[in-house]
Amino acid sequence: MPDIEPFSPRGMFHKGWTAEVSDYAIACGWALKGKQFIVGDVAGGIFAFEGDTGKIIWEKENTHSGGLLAMAIHPEGEIFATSGQDGNVQICNCHEGKVIKTLDLGKGWVEHLKWSNDGLFLAIASSKKVYVFNEIGEEKWISEDHPSTVSAITWSNKNELATACYGRVTFFDIVNNKTNQKLEWQGSLVSMELSPDGDIVACGSQDNSVHFWRRSTGMDAEMTGYPGKPSHLSFDDSGKLLATSGSERITVWSFIGNGPEGTMPGELCHHTEPISSLAFSNKGMLVASGSRDGSVVASFLKNDGNGDPVGAAFAGDLVGAISWRPDDCALAAVNAKGVVNVWKFKVRTNLFSKGFK
Amino acid sequence: MSIKDKVPVTILTGFLGSGKTTLLNRILSEEHGKRIAVIENEYGEVGIDQGLVINADEEVFEMSNGCICCTVRGDLIRVLGNLMKRRDKFDYVLVETTGLADPGPVAQTFFMDEEISSEFTLDGIVTLVDAAHIDQQLGRSDESSEQVAFADVLVLNKTDLVSDDALNTLESRLRDMNRMTRIIRAENAKVPIETVLNLSAFDLDQILKRRPTFLEPEYPFEWTGVYDLDAGKYELMLEEGPDPEMSLVALVNQGESEEELKDGAESSVRLYAEKANTLEPGKTIPYGEHINLKLDDKGNKSFILNIEKPTKIGLFTQHTAEEFNMKVIKSVENKEIPFNTERFWQAEHEHDDEVGSIAIERFGDVDPEKLNTWMGRLLSEKGVDIFRTKGFISYSGNPRRIVFQGVHMLFTAQPDKEWGNEPRRNQLVFIGRNLNEKEMQEGFDKCLI
């Protein structure tokens, strides 16, 4: 049967491309609607590759003295922002990597960057303060000092920003400079995700628990029993499932019906070492996970949070970050040795089967 | 990942002005071979010369359960979490805390956070004290006594500003508070680097291999004199004193530095543990032996010291030289040879610090179940006040020695080497605040079989 093409033995991961950057890769993302893939390494090297082939388009080193801490690609995909230990944020053009604007925020590390969904604002966390700038780098808002270093930021709607730190989550209306809501909890919140509708707030806590709040009802709940601190959280696009992990296990809470309080979560036990990155696909119930042992697994989940692996691959070393292409037809993983792996991914939808050209 | 692959972290604590930054700079300038990352909580007037330096404000994170042993340092988790991605850039980490830092959460961070403990190992806690001011500081603040209590090494700094007498008194006060710590005297934070780095102070196997006990010795002698002597015959002359006898150990090749004196003292402690041989006046003093000078005759008594080739003789005497007006006289010329160096060791101590050490040493086996119950109860009731615990235990029926250590309520125990022919015994050391020695000893005794 000469016309049958052999599949590489990788389940639904198919051969894509690999490339290398200079140091431990900590951040990555797709730009220009999936035509470009940008990787940032811990030393401050930024590299842009062709999304389909992995051919290098541009690269630059030492963008932040002391090292890179965060990178965020604008939702339109034409510009991106980076930040580092030098206290600076750079807004750059994706096509050539040119710096459009440098924001100097002082001495503290700039650890978190988030573009609002409509792309009008860039939120920046540095030490105890959070800043909001617009796309062209004009300052729009600055928070007061938080009680501790801000550990996570995320947009709840186009004008409302959520921040997490030791002891609380705060919602700020950044246009009217108002504090909309404060959710308090005595514990060190190390991660935060919001459901797509902004109602459910989930935070991983240093004491090995996940704390939820429902903003509409004010109800909160604590999910304990994690073997490690749940640094990795991801909601699916419908807000039904929340994948969480602080160990080699992924625990998936289902918000369908009265859950997750009082329900048994789904458990995914596909890795042998703790999870180092976790991301739901842009659409649908696929969750991809990368581990310290270099394994990358995609699992297809059911409504109760349980599921089966549909594909697995080896990324070579600790997975620093993973990213689904906007059309979910490719998955990228970057590792601690600076290796970039991009696999094509076959997705079945109601309409047609994608992933092969 | 084995402990060998983990990056060692040394914590430097001490009040403002105790010399932390001076020591830090000394380490950085002397350890050229090592690439050291520095996390600095205190931005003093003295800058740090070189190296990968990260400033971070101290952030103490308590947990919702209110358990103090879960309290960690958020700044260290954040900074070390980033540093672990730059493993190729450094192979040692020094953390300089503020003068007011509580060392508990710092130490607990390395045990409570999985991500940190998988990449880093707490090598030791080094506390600097300003010899001129620590007496007052200990009276005024809990932090300074806690920093002393947590220390694996205490650097008694600025000794040039204080008299020897005061130093000896101070050292014995600190020793009482923390009987596990090593005390090193220094001027201008000048200490041998190997006494503060790579201690593996939390690696019990390592410690017990180097030293058979967790307890620093209490000296059975009060005085040491080091004499620089040419070859020839000498007399050790003593007048009548308060006691009819005095025991001593004489060591050849005795150095004069504080470190060498401590080494000599340590050897002498071991020799003192042996029964002393009585020596009549007129006899020759043997070297490296515990002897008892017989002094009940009236008038001056002389003992002989024979020196074959020039050397420095260290005399470790039960009482001070002054009490007997003890002199070394070169026989032929009848000339007194003064000592080059003297060092007093204070044996008696009555201090009323709240923070102190309790040591329990007992021969025999313990019942594992009873010990667990007792220890569990002790730590749950007194864990807040017990800063550090170390020890080894002989479980009945277990051929291996069990070693354990704890920081507040965090506690680990592991089997160590086989006992073999060694007599079965137990040693427990607790450092804490307002601990009741009698009650704890009685509690432990009930666990013995």
Digit-coded pLDDT (tens) for B249-290:
999 999 998 889 988 988 888 888 788 899 999 999 999 999
Contact A206 B57 (CB under 8 A): no
**pLDDT score for B373:** 92
How close is the nearest chain B Cα to the Cα of A224, in Å? 12
Three-state secondary structure of A73-141: ECCCCCEEEEEECCCEEEEEECCCCCEEEEEECCCCCEEEEEECCCCCEEEEEECCEEEEEECCCCEEE
**pLDDT score for A5:** 47
- Measured over the CA atoms of residue B148, residue B151, residue B154 and residue B158, the dihedral's sign is negative
Residue of A nearest to B58 (CA): A148
Interface test with A, best of B58, B61, B72 (most A CBs within 10 A): B61
Q: How far is CA B145 from CA B136, B201, B317, B363, B399, in A?
A: 11, 20, 32, 32, 39
Nearest to residue B387, comparing CAs of B179, B136, B200, B129?
A: B179
Helix (H) or strand (E) holding A280: strand A275-280
Indicate if the pLDDT at residue B210 is higher than 70.
no
Chain B CB within 8 Å of residue A206 CB:
yes
How close is the nearest chain A Cα to the Cα of B123, in Å? 23
- Residue pair A25/A11 in contact (Cβ under 8 Å)? The answer is no
Q: For Cα atoms B426, B430, B433, give the angle at the middle one, nearest 5 degrees.
A: 160
How close is the nearest chain B Cα to the Cα of A143, in Å? 19
Distance CA A223, CA B301 (A): 81
Contact B64 A206 (CB under 8 A): no
Beta strands in B408-445 (DSSP E): 410-418, 425-433
Nearest to residue B13, comparing CAs of B122, B111, B117?
A: B122
Nearest to residue A155, comparing CAs of A196, A187, A111, A212?
A: A196
Chain B CB within 8 Å of residue A43 CB:
yes
- Residue pair B70/A207 in contact (Cβ under 8 Å)? The answer is yes
Distance CA A44, CA B248 (A): 66
Residue of A nearest to B117 (CA): A228
Token digits of residue A217: 């009802």
**pLDDT score for B214:** 66
In this complex, which of A67, A149, A231 lies closest to B59 when CB atoms are compared?
A149
For B235, phi then psi, to 5°, come to -115, 135
Contact A229 B114 (CB under 8 A): yes
Distance CA A257, CA B7 (A): 48
Distance CA A300, CA A309 (A): 6
Chain B CB within 8 Å of residue A26 CB:
yes
B59 vs A contacts (CB less than 8 Å): 148-149, 166
Rg of the Cα atoms in chain A:
20
Q: Which of A17-31, A341-355, B117-131, B143-157 has the lowest mean pLDDT?
A: A341-355
Contact B86 A43 (CB under 8 A): yes
B114 vs A contacts (CB less than 8 Å): 227-229, 246-247, 274
**pLDDT score for B70:** 81
A231 vs B contacts (CB less than 8 Å): 115
Contact A148 B82 (CB under 8 A): no
Interface test with A, best of B38, B57, B63 (most A CBs within 10 A): B63
Distance CA A133, CA A125 (A): 11
Contact A207 B74 (CB under 8 A): no
Angle between the N-to-C axes of helices B368-382 and B437-445, in degrees from 0 to 180, rounded to the nearest 10: 160
Task: Classify strands A220-223 and A232-235 as parallel, antiparallel or unpaired.
Answer: unpaired
Contacts of A309 (CB under 8 A, 6+ apart): A11, A268, A270, A297, A298, A299
**pLDDT score for B141:** 77
Q: What is the ipTM of this complex?
A: 0.88
In this complex, which of A42, A228, A231 lies closest to B86 when CB atoms are compared?
A42
- Residue pair B396/B368 in contact (Cβ under 8 Å)? The answer is yes
In this complex, which of A24, A228, A231 lies closest to B85 when CB atoms are compared?
A24
A67 vs B contacts (CB less than 8 Å): 82, 86
Distance CA A194, CA A200 (A): 6
In this complex, which of B57, B61, B86 lies closest to A206 when CB atoms are compared?
B61
Contacts of B414 (CB under 8 A, 6+ apart): B204, B402, B403, B404
Chain B CB within 8 Å of residue A134 CB:
no
For chain B, give the mean pLDDT. 86
Residue of B nearest to A336 (CA): B85
Nearest to residue A27, comparing CAs of A76, A78, A81?
A: A81
B86 vs A contacts (CB less than 8 Å): 24, 42-43, 67
Chain B CB within 8 Å of residue A69 CB:
yes
Indicate if the pLDDT at residue B417 is higher than 90.
no
For A198, phi then psi, to 5°, come to 80, 5
Q: Residue B203's CB: how many other CB atoms inside 10 A?
A: 17
A42 vs B contacts (CB less than 8 Å): 82, 85-86
Q: Residue B415's CB: how many other CB atoms inside 10 A?
A: 12
Distance CA B334, CA B337 (A): 9
- Residue pair A130/A171 in contact (Cβ under 8 Å)? The answer is no
**pLDDT score for B351:** 57
- Residue pair A122/A81 in contact (Cβ under 8 Å)? The answer is yes
Give the burial class of A180: count Cβ atoms within 10 A of its Cβ; 0-12 exposed, 13-18 middle, 19 or more buried.
middle
Chain B CB within 8 Å of residue A187 CB:
yes
Report DSSP letters for B68-98, one per residue: GGG-EEHHHHHHHHHHGGGGGG-SEEEEE--
Chain B CB within 8 Å of residue A107 CB:
yes
In this complex, which of A42, A109, A228 lies closest to B85 when CB atoms are compared?
A42
Interface test with B, best of A21, A23, A26, A42 (most B CBs within 10 A): A42
Q: Which of residues 298-317 of A touch B (CB under 8 A)?
A: none
**pLDDT score for B350:** 53
| Between residues A333 and B355, the one the model is more confident about | A333
Please compute the mean of the pLDDT values over residues B158-180 and round it to a whole number.
88
Q: Tens-digit pLDDT profile for chain A (357 aa)?
A: 445 544 444 458 888 999 999 999 999 999 999 999 999 999 999 999 999 999 999 999 999 998 999 999 999 999 999 999 999 999 999 999 999 999 999 989 999 999 999 999 999 999 999 999 999 999 999 999 999 999 999 999 999 999 999 999 999 999 999 999 999 988 899 999 999 999 999 999 999 999 999 999 888 999 998 999 999 999 999 999 999 999 999 999 999 988 798 889 999 999 999 999 999 999 999 999 999 999 999 999 999 999 999 889 999 999 999 999 999 999 999 999 999 999 998 755 444 444 433
**pLDDT score for A229:** 93
Q: How many CB pairs under 8 A join A and B?
A: 61
Cα atoms in the Cβ-side hemisphere of radius 13 Å centred on A30: 19
B74 vs A contacts (CB less than 8 Å): 148-149, 166, 188, 206
Contact A149 B114 (CB under 8 A): no
Q: How far is CA B314 from CA B56, B225, B251, B303, in A?
A: 48, 6, 5, 15
Please compute the mean of the pLDDT values over residues B167-187 and round it to a whole number.
89
Contact B61 A188 (CB under 8 A): yes
3-state helix, strand, coil in chain A (%, to 5): 0, 55, 45
Residue with tokens 């000048």: B190
Please compute the mean of the pLDDT values over residues B386-414 and round it to a whole number.
88
Contact A206 B85 (CB under 8 A): no
A246 vs B contacts (CB less than 8 Å): 114
In this complex, which of B65, B77, B115 lies closest to A207 when CB atoms are compared?
B65
How close is the nearest chain A Cα to the Cα of B199, in Å? 28
Helix (H) or strand (E) holding B204: helix B204-210
Residues listed for chain A: 357
Chain B residues within 8 Å of chain A (Cβ atoms): 54-55, 57, 59, 61-65, 70, 72, 74-75, 77-78, 82, 85-86, 113-115
Helix (H) or strand (E) holding B440: helix B437-445
Please compute the mean of the pLDDT values over residues B313-330 and round it to a whole number.
91
